[in-house]
Structure 1
Amino acid sequence: MKSTAIHSLGVLIFICSTYALRSGEVIPNQWIVLLHPNTTDDGVSMHLSSLDLIVSSIEMSPDSPPPPTVQTSTFNFGDQMKGYVARLPPGTGDAHVQALVDGIQSSDQVLHVESDRVVTLSLFDNYDSYDVDEQLWRYYGPWRRLHVMGHYVAQTGAPWNLVRISHRWYSSFLSSIEYIYPRGAGSGSTVYILDTGIDTNHSELSGRAYWGASFVRGRNGSEVIYKDDHSHGTHVAGIVASTRYGVAKQTKVIAVKVMNWQGTGATSVILAGLEWIYNNANMTINNIINTSLRISSSRAVDAVATMLINQKGFVWSSSAGNSASDACTNSPNEVEGVVTVGATDRNDIVASYSNQGRCVDIFAPGSDIKSTIPVSMGGYGIKSGTSMAAPHVSGLLALARTVHPGLSPLELNSYIKKYSTRNVLRNVNASTPNRFIYTVLA
C-alpha cells in the first residue's frame, strides 16, 4: 500500500533539483537537527516555536523587509531519536541565518546540528559498457531454465555476474554458464530500496515488487510521484530479485523513493525515507535496507543506521562509492553492522572508480551489469558502479537468511564474510579486505 505520509520533506527534493547537483554539496539555509532522546513532544513544540522568535529578534532598519519564516519538518524514531529539518527561504540575510544557527546550537534540547547536503547515486556514468554487454549477451544468451541440485538451484545461461559469484575460482567461472544458489532463493526476506523508485509492473519483478513510500515531487514540483523516472532504482531492484538477473529470486523488494528524475536527493529526504521504514516495516519478517547512494558523512544517518540494526534487527548493504577514494567518507559506511560493498569487473579486478579502505567489507560485481529498468525505458539496461555491487550483497543477505534465519544482523554479516572467496581480486589496496561474495552457502 502506498504511504500518504509525505510530511513537508518532499519539497526538499525540488529545491535540490534547482541547485548545483554535486554530491556532498551543502544545500544553502537548510539544516538537520537532532534533539536529545528524552525531549518530550511538548518540548519539541516549544523549541520549534522559539525559532521564529530567534530570527525576528534581529534588529533591522525600518525599511528592511519583514524577518523570514523558519520552515520546519519533524522526524520521529520513537523514543530513540527525534529531530527536525529547518529551512530559511533563499535570499535570507546573513544576520538572520547566523542568528538561527546560533540559537539552535545553544539550545539545551539540541544534540547535534549539521548542514543538509546533496545526495547522488553511486552510479558510474562515464563507463562505456554497451559493446561488452552485447558480447556477453551473445555468449550467455537469455535465461533458459532452472534445475535443482540437492539443496541448491542452478540457473543455466545466467549473466556473467551471477555465474561469477557462485564459483570460487576464476577458472571455474570461465568454464560455466550456471548461477548456483540455495533453494530458498531469499524467500521470507524483504529488501527496502531507498532510491529512485521501482517499476513494480515489470514482468521480471511481478508479484515481488511493491511501493512503500515516495518523498519526491515530479518535475513540475506539484505532486509526489510513485514512479521510477530515472531507472536506477529498478535496475538495483532487478539485481536483488528479478527472475533472470536477480541474486535472490524469491525476495520481495519495496520502493522508498528518495531520489528524483535527475538521480539527486538530500540527506534530509533520506532521513524521511528511513523514518517511514522505521514506522512501517513488518518486523515479523527479515528486513534488509539497500542504499546504492553517495551520502556524505552524516552523523544523523549513522545514528539511524545504528538504531535500525541494533534495535530493529535490520541488515544493511551500502555502496562504497565511486570516487576511487576512502569509503569511510560516505554514510553509513562506518557503522558496525552495515555491509559496505566495493565493485569489481568480470576479470576479478577492483573497478578503477570503486572506493576502498577499512570501511569496505566485501566486493561484488559492479561493472557492466545487466538488469531491469522501467518498461517505458526499454525494460533492460546495463549500468556500472558500486550502486550495482551493493544489491548483489542485499540479495546474498536474503539468501543467507534463508539458510540461517536465526542469525542476528552482526552474525549474518560475519557469516557472509566467512563464506566469501578470499584473495582472488586484483587492484585491492593494503587497507582493504580482499573478499568476494559467494552464494553457495551452507
Structure 2
Amino acid sequence: MATTILAVITFAATHKAPVKILNTDAQTNAIEFHHELLKQTKLTETLQQIRSTSQPTPLALRHYIVVFKDQSGQSAQLSQTIQTQYGGQTRYRFDQALKGIAISIPEVASQAFINAMLRHPLVNYVEEDQVIQISAIQSNPSWGLDRIDQRSLPLNQSYQYENTGAGVNLYVLDTGILATHQEFTGRVKKGFSAISDFNGTNDCNGHGTFVAGLAGGTTYGVAKQINLIPIRVVGCSGSGLMSNMIAGIDWILKNGQKPAVVNISMGGPAYEPLDTAIHNLSTQGFIPIVAAGNSNTNACDLSPARSANAITVAATDKTDTRASYSNYGACVDIFAPGSGVTSAWNRSNSSVGTGNGTSMAAPHVAGAAALILQRTPTATTKMVTDQILATSTPNVVKNVAGSSNRLLFTATASDSTPSNQTIQQSTNTLASINQLIGATTRNWLFGTWKATVNIKVVDQNQKAVSNATITGGFSVGASAISCITNSIGECQLNSGTLSRNVTSTTFNVVNITGTNLTYAANHNQVSHITLTP
C-alpha cells in the first residue's frame, strides 16, 4: 500500500530574538578583560556552587552560538577561555562559516554567561541555538524531470539533456546519503557528520537520500554524473541544532572542492548566524541552493530562504500551480517541481519514494546549477543565478503570491533545445538593492527623532534602474511605504516622527516593482538597515 513522504523541515525556536552585544572599549585587552569580568560576575559563584555539590545531579543545559567580531584575531584563544573559565562545553568552533563558537552552558548559569558576553569587547552578539526538525514518511512516476526540459504543458514523457554535471561536486546538507543505493553508481564521496550517533554520513532517515537522488540520481536526477558529498546535520529522528548546520558549512569551507553546489532543503525563523554562514559560502565560490519552506508563508521571514546570497526555490505541482504548502514572496527566486516527485529512498539499495515539498524543488535547481558549472567551472553564484533566471520559463506559474513568476528550465543550461520548442529569453530587468544609506534627525526641544533611508536600485549589470517602485517599512514608524527611483536609481523613505522612547528602528525592503522588472532579492547587497538616534 502506497504512503506519502512529507518533507516538512521546521525550526522550533527556544529564544525569541538575538541578544545583541553592546559595544565596549575596543582598546581593552580581550584576555585581561575576560579574567577581570569573571571576577565581577555572579557566574563564578554560581559555577562554584555547582562544582561543590557533593552529589551532583544532571544539569539542564542551554545552547548558544557566540559570534565574535571579525577583526578580533583572537578567536581560538577566546574560544578556549570561554570554555575553561565559564564552565561551558564548546561543541564547535567556527572559523570559516562565521567567527565564533557553539557552546553549552548550565541553565542556572546561562543569564550570567549572557551578561558577561554582553560586556566582552571581542563578542559581536549571542543567539540561543535553535532546534531543527524534519518529518519524512515514504511512499511510491516522476513528472519533475519531464517538466523542466519543456516550456509548457502537456508533458511529453521525456527528459532531454546533454550535460550531466560530471566533475561538479554537490554538498547535500541533510540527513546523510545511502551511498550504496543503485541511483548513485559509486559517486558518493567522503563527507562530514555533525551528529554523534555512530552512523557517520549514512542516512537513517531517508530525506537526504531522496534529495540527493533528485539532484544527481542516474534515473531521477537532473545532473546524472555529479559527485555527491553528504553533510549530515540532522539525525535519524529528524532533529538537530542550528549549530549543526553551521558546522557543516564550516566544514565545506575548510575542505570543499570546487566547482561546487550546496543544497540546503531545510530552514527556519530568521537567524543571523546562518545568514552569515550562507554569505561566506557564496562569496568563497560555493553555490547555495535553498528551499523556500513549507508553511505557506513569506519566505523573507525565514533563514536561509531570505538570504540574498542563495537561490531560493519554491514548489509547483503538476498543473504549474504554486503548491499549497509552498512559501512565497519577494525572496523566492524561482519555482521547480515539488509535489509528487519520485526519487531514491533509504530502505534498500533499490527502493524509491514519492515526495512533496520545497525540499524536493530545491535539488532540481541544484542539479541545474551543476549543469552550468560543468560548462563554466569558475562561475560565481551571481553568474549561475543570472543564467538560471534568464533561461527560466516566465509567467506560467499560477498563484505565485508575490513571488518571481519563473519556472526552472534546464534545456538551455545543458546546451540542449527540446524538439519543437523555441526558447524565449526573458526580457525582464532583474532589479536589486545596491545600497541603503541611513540618516537620522532629532528635535532636541521635544526629544523626538526621524529616520531616513536613501535607497539605490541597480539591474543585473549594476546599472541604475529608474521608475522602480520600492516598498518597505520600518519596524517602528511607517510600516508600509513606497517611493519611485529617479534617473540615477535612487529614492528616499522616512519613518515619520518617532518618540524619545524609541531607541532604534529597522528598515526592511519588501519588494521592487515596475514595468518589465523582476525583484531579484538574492542580488541585494543589503536588504535592511537599523538606525538609532
* Range of TM-score over shorter length: 0.7 to 0.9
Q: Give 2:265's aligned residue.
A: 292
Q: Distance in 2 between matches of 1:53 and 1:115?
A: 20
**1:70 aligned to which of 88, 98, 101:** 88
Deviation of the 1:226 alpha carbon = 3.1
Question: Secondary structure in 1 aligned to 2:67?
Answer: strand
Q: Give 2:287's aligned residue.
A: 315
Change (3 A) 1:102 1:44: farther
Q: Give 2:184's aligned residue.
A: 205
Q: Give 1:142's aligned residue.
A: none
Q: Establish whether residue 439 from structure 1 lines up as the match of residue 410 from structure 2.
A: yes
Question: Secondary structure in 2 aligned to 1:104?
Answer: helix
Q: Distance in 2 between matches of 1:47 and 1:260?
A: 26
Q: Give 1:246's aligned residue.
A: 221
**2:132 aligned to which of 103, 112, 119:** 119
Q: Distance in 2 between matches of 1:113 and 1:301?
A: 13
Deviation of the 1:124 alpha carbon = 7.5
Deviation of the 1:187 alpha carbon = 1.4
**Equivalence map 1:66-145=2 (5 Å):** 69-78=87-96, 81-89=98-106, 92-93=107-108, 96-121=109-134, 137=141
Deviation of the 1:30 alpha carbon = 1.1
Larger Rg: 2
Deviation of the 1:76 alpha carbon = 3.2
Q: Distance in 2 between matches of 1:210 and 1:50?
A: 35
Tell me the amino acid that sits aligned with residue 170 of structure 1: L
**Equivalence map 1:204-223=2 (5 Å):** 204-218=183-197, 223=198
Deviation of the 1:375 alpha carbon = 4.4
Deviation of the 1:308 alpha carbon = 1.6
List alignment gaps of at least 5 residues for structure 1: 1-20, 55-68, 138-158
Name the structure with the higher helix share.
Answer: 1
Change (3 A) 1:118 1:391: same
Change (3 A) 1:52 1:243: closer
**2:145 aligned to which of 134, 137, 162:** 162
Q: Give 1:262's aligned residue.
A: 237
Question: So what's the TM-score if we normalise by structure 2?
Answer: 0.64
Q: Give 1:411's aligned residue.
A: 383
Change (3 A) 1:358 1:251: same
Q: Distance in 2 between matches of 1:76 and 1:22?
A: 23
Tell me the amino acid that sits aligned with residue 103 of structure 2: A
Q: Distance in 2 between matches of 1:236 and 1:228?
A: 11
**2:64 aligned to which of 27, 31, 54:** 31
Deviations 1:228-279 (A, max 9, x none): 0000000000001111100010111100111011212111111111111111
Q: Give 1:49's aligned residue.
A: 81
List alignment gaps of at least 5 residues for structure 2: 1-8, 16-60, 416-533
Q: Give 1:236's aligned residue.
A: 211
Tell me the amino acid that sits aligned with residue 226 of structure 1: T
Q: Distance in 2 between matches of 1:381 and 1:211?
A: 25
Question: So what's the TM-score if we normalise by structure 1?
Answer: 0.77
Change (3 A) 1:292 1:374: same
4+ runs deviating over 6 angstroms: none
Contact 1:423 1:434 in 2 (8 A): yes
Q: How many residues align?
A: 360
Contact 1:35 1:111 in 2 (8 A): yes
Q: Distance in 1 between matches of 2:105 and 2:94?
A: 21
Deviation of the 1:39 alpha carbon = 2.2
Contact 2:136 2:206 in 1 (8 A): no
Q: Establish whether residue 339 from structure 1 lines up as the match of residue 308 from structure 2.
A: no
Q: Establish whether residue 379 from structure 1 lines up as the match of residue 362 from structure 2.
A: no
| Structure showing greater relative contact order (alpha-carbon pairs closer than 8 Å, 6 or more residues apart) | 1
Deviates more, 1:27-36 or 1:272-281: 27-36
